[in-house]
Amino acid sequence: MAPSALTTVRARTLFTPLDTGGRADTVTRRLTTAIRLGLLLDGERLPAESDLAGQLGVATVTLREALAALRTMGLVETRRGRGGGSFVRAPREPHPARLERPLRLLSAHELRDIGDHRAAIAGAAAGLAAERALPSEIASLHEHAKRLRVATALTDRRRADARLHIEIAAAAQSPRLTREEMDLWAEIGDLVWLPMAGEDPGPVADEHAALIGAIEGQQPGRARELAERHVAAETARLLDLRLSLPQR
Amino acid sequence: MTRHPGLLAAITRHISSVLGSVTELGEAMTAVAQAAGPRPLRRADLAELRPLVAEVLRRHDGLIAGTGVVLAPGVLADASRWIEWWWADGGGGISQLDVDLDPGSAEFYDYTTTEWYREPARAGRQWVTGPYVDYICTHKYTLTLSAPVLHAGGFLGVAGADILADRVERLVLPGLARLGRPAVLTSGAGRVIASNSASIPPGVVLARQEGSAGLRRVAGPGGGVADPGGEGAVLPWVLLAAPVRDETLDYG
């Protein structure tokens, strides 16, 4: 793979020029999304700073700021010298204890607000999917729910769960809601299953089954309500865990 | 009854033209496999396709968002899965998607489960997928045209092209507007691709949409459009419109 240009199918839209202004945190979020969702692979080499800055349409200094933030998060590693550059460090199976740190960085206020945002997106997507999904899309939802049911590792559960919710937004026929789900899962996805570590995922799988049932049954009101309740329960579990951490 | 086959025939010509290019690209891929003979195919062999890819992108400039071939797992010796996909970079050149699909990490994007890959493989013929939200590649509401690539009785993969749904709308909407009555274009599955009526927006399933019951099919596969070449058969799109006034009288 040519190291100079990052042009994978996954990276293509992730590295289109930012149209929301070239702020470092926007760049950081875009790259975090790519890594967290597995669109950028572990060990993948990022283009040279000037090239990547050019692709994203931001100043090199802005990109450097974003890369520094990603290094702090442990998502990018920069090696010097020959064969050096910035490399993706995709989180494999994060130890629950390690994930407590990012959770600690979020206030209960922020967790609640992210939960509200997720519930709004997931609820709207589920309602529209119930109106618009075709049988082929319903089949895909069942398929992803099945994958989630058999996933055991935290990373696998997160991926399958994210994929299921992204597919629901896609079934709503809305590229914007789909993008919102992708961004939200990139932001908070690592944490969603954290409170469930070591616990039976069965009840969550049952919630998904009921939600898909409402979408399949073309019951928009019920689908929206189930999706909102599902996200609210996740938010409550996260808040519970956050508040149970020793206060410092 | 007033028929409006011209409208559907016009968009069918556009889509058929792209399908023709997709098939041409598939045949070029078959030729690459033919030329390799018993030698295993490698990624470098696909370089042969580039002039045609560039020509196809030029030919359908403004209509297609990307084109290329997607290979079945195991076809290439040096990549278990491969997407050879290109798009016009806007500056007169073309850009390649340099896909590095690590089988260990490919779970997130297993293209073999997509409709545009699976259906041409299963049906052995051209396929039009969508419109659907393509959240991997275009991030837009997209239609994917694809055709199987075969060689020596084996399935090598698919050739394809992406068309953004709003491009189709732009081609169809003036004609729909001229009808002067509610009219929609739907996919074979009944999803609205373009509509001149605010009460039936694109993306909805027509049969479930309130106010759609009065629409009558005016053109579609197996009737309405004279298509002796049979090209339209792959495009099961349907044009529906509210009855004209004299027709309404007929219904009392």
**Residue pLDDT, tens place only, B128-151:** 999 999 887 788 999 999 999 999
Q: Do A38 and B105 touch (CB under 8 A)?
A: yes
Instruction: Tell me which of A93-97, A166-170, B49-53, B180-184 is least confident.
Output: A93-97
Q: Considering chain A, what is the average pLDDT of its residues?
A: 83
Closest to B22 (Cα-Cα) out of B137, B116, B131? B116
pLDDT confidence band for A154 (50 / 70 / 90): confident
d(CA B252, CA B247): 9
Same domain, A82 and A110: no
Q: CB–CB of A14/A39 below 8 Å?
A: yes
Which tens digits make up the pLDDT trace of B71-91?
999 999 988 888 999 998 878
Domain coverage including residue A153: 96-244
Which tens digits make up the pLDDT trace of B207-219?
998 888 889 998 8
Tally of domains within chain A: 2
> How far is A240 from chain B, CA to nearest CA, in Å?
30
pLDDT of residue B109: 64
Closest to B98 (Cα-Cα) out of A28, A4, A175, A160? A4
Same domain, A108 and A180: yes
Same domain, A19 and A66: yes
Which residues share a beta bridge with A77?
A87
Same domain, A57 and A157: no
Q: Do A136 and B115 touch (CB under 8 A)?
A: yes
pLDDT of residue B7: 87
Give A99's contacts (C-beta < 8 A, 6+ positions apart): A190, A191, A194
CATH number, residue A83: 1.10.10.10
pLDDT confidence band for B112 (50 / 70 / 90): confident
pLDDT confidence band for B171 (50 / 70 / 90): very high
Closest to B53 (Cα-Cα) out of B64, B65, B68? B68
Q: CB–CB of A17/B109 below 8 Å?
A: no
Closest to A89 (Cα-Cα) out of A33, A40, A30? A40
Name the range with the highest mean pLDDT among B43-52, B132-141, B215-224.
Answer: B43-52
pLDDT of residue A248: 63
Out of A39, A69, A88, a domain closes at A88
Same domain, A168 and A223: yes
User: What's the half-sphere exposure (Cβ side, CA atoms, 13 Å) at A167?
Assistant: 24
pLDDT of residue A70: 86
Which has the higher per-residue pLDDT, A28 or A176?
A176
pLDDT of residue A88: 85
Same domain, A77 and A124: no
Domain map (residue ranges) of chain B: 5-9+166-250, 10-164
By three-state DSSP, how is residue A21 classified?
coil
d(CA A46, CA A27): 13
Question: Per the domain annotation, does A2 fall within a domain?
Answer: no
Give B142's contacts (C-beta < 8 A, 6+ positions apart): B65, B130, B131, B132, B133, B134, B162, B163, B164, B165
Closest to B63 (Cα-Cα) out of B117, B25, B28, B22? B22
Which of A41, A166, A174 lies nearest to residue B105, judging by beta carbons? A41
Q: Considering chain B, what is the average pLDDT of its residues?
A: 86
A170: exposed, middle or buried (C-beta count within 10 Å: 0-12, 13-18, 19+)? buried
B179: exposed, middle or buried (C-beta count within 10 Å: 0-12, 13-18, 19+)? middle
pLDDT of residue A50: 84
Which residues share a beta bridge with B146?
B127, B160
pLDDT of residue A47: 82
Same domain, A30 and A100: no
Contacts of A5 in chain B (CB under 8 A): 98
Residue A136 φ/ψ, nearest 5 degrees: -65, -35
Same domain, A111 and A174: yes
Which has the higher per-residue pLDDT, A123 or A86?
A123
In A196-215, the residues whose Cβ lies within 8 Å of chain B are none
Question: Per the domain annotation, does A125 fall within a domain?
Answer: yes
**Is residue A4 less than 8 Å (CB to CB) from chain B?**
no
Same domain, A124 and A148: yes
Interval B52-68 mean pLDDT = 95
Same domain, A81 and A111: no
Question: Per the domain annotation, does A3 fall within a domain?
Answer: no
Same domain, A57 and A102: no
Q: Do A173 and B109 touch (CB under 8 A)?
A: no
Residue B69 φ/ψ, nearest 5 degrees: -125, 150
Interval A5-28 mean pLDDT = 54
pLDDT of residue A160: 86
Q: What is the DSSP letter of B41?
A: B
Instruction: Tell me which of A4-13, B35-44, B131-140 is least confident.
Output: A4-13
Which of B137, B140, B204 lies nearest to residue A12, judging by beta carbons? B137
Q: Do A13 and B139 touch (CB under 8 A)?
A: yes
Helices A135-150 and A202-216 pack at an angle, to 10 degrees, of 180
Q: Do A9 and B203 touch (CB under 8 A)?
A: no
Which tens digits make up the pLDDT trace of A185-213?
888 888 898 888 778 888 999 999 999 99
Out of A37, A66, A88, a domain closes at A88
Whole-prediction pTM: 0.76
* A232 pLDDT more than 90: yes
ipTM above 0.85, yes or no: no
Query: What's at A246, amino acid-wise?
Result: P
Give B81's contacts (C-beta < 8 A, 6+ positions apart): B71, B73, B101, B103, B106, B111, B112
* A5 pLDDT more than 50: no
Interval A124-149 mean pLDDT = 94
Which has the higher per-residue pLDDT, A158 or B35?
B35
- Token pair of A170 as six digits: 């896609």
Alpha helices in B66-181 (DSSP H): 115-123, 165-179
Same domain, A129 and A165: yes
Closest to B155 (Cα-Cα) out of B77, B71, B234? B71
Specify the CATH number for B10-164; select among 2.60.40.420, 3.30.450.20, 3.30.300.20, 3.40.50.740.
3.30.450.20
pLDDT of residue A140: 92
Contacts of A37 in chain B (CB under 8 A): 108
Give A40's contacts (C-beta < 8 A, 6+ positions apart): A8, A10, A11, A14, A31, A34, A88, A90
CATH number, residue A187: 1.20.120.530
Tell the residue number behind the tokens 């659907």, with chain if given: B132
